[in-house]
Amino acid sequence: EDKVVQSPLSLVVHEGDTVTLNCSYEVTNFRSLLWYKQEKKAPTFLFMLTSSGIEKKSGRLSSILDKKELFSILNITATQTGDSAVYLCAVEASGGSNYKLTFGKGTLLTVNP
């Protein structure tokens, strides 16, 4: 059974801090790893990672994938209160023409002023 484990489950920081969120996975036929941000509504797409060692960056957020060690990290620098959300990691795997997307339980990030 495919597994995606995120850590920590929750994190409380102060504005300006840098945080690192972790996602490890065990899947068969890995295709990609995705990060989503979920505030009080639907998840919104952040990054898709398919290759090891190539950092994806968007403003203060960045992410990298290690396909050998089967994990990814999401970094947020100079955190702001608007970064408070649940961050979801999902892994896409394929089997023939089908595919499967498995989500982790998420990391709840709270950024205090």
Partner 1 sequence: DSGVTQTPKHLITATGQRVTLRCSPRSGDLSVYWYQQSLDQGLQFLIQYYNGEERAKGNILERFSAQQFPDLHSELNLSSLELGDSALYFCASSVEGRGREQYFGPGTRLTVT
Residues that bind partner 1 (CB under 8 A): 31-32, 34, 41-45, 48, 88, 90, 92, 94, 97-106
Q: Which of 10/77 has CB closer to partner 1?
A: 10
Q: Which of 50/84 has CB closer to partner 1?
A: 50
Instruction: Give the shortest CB-112-to-partner 1 separation in angstroms.
Output: 23
Instruction: Give the shortest CB-13-to-partner 1 separation in angstroms.
Output: 22
Q: Which of 23/79 has CB closer to partner 1?
A: 23
Torsion of CA 91, 93, 99, 103, to 10 degrees: -20
Instruction: Give the shortest CB-56-to-partner 1 separation in angstroms.
Output: 12
What per-residue string of b and e applies to 56-84 under the rule 16 or more CB within 10 Å gives b?
A: beeeebebbbeeeebbbbbebeebeeebb
- The set of residues, in sequence order, having a beta carbon less than 8 Å from that of 48 and lying 6+ positions away, is 32, 33, 34, 56
Q: Which of 79/86 has CB closer to partner 1?
A: 86
Instruction: Give the shortest CB-37-to-partner 1 separation in angstroms.
Output: 11
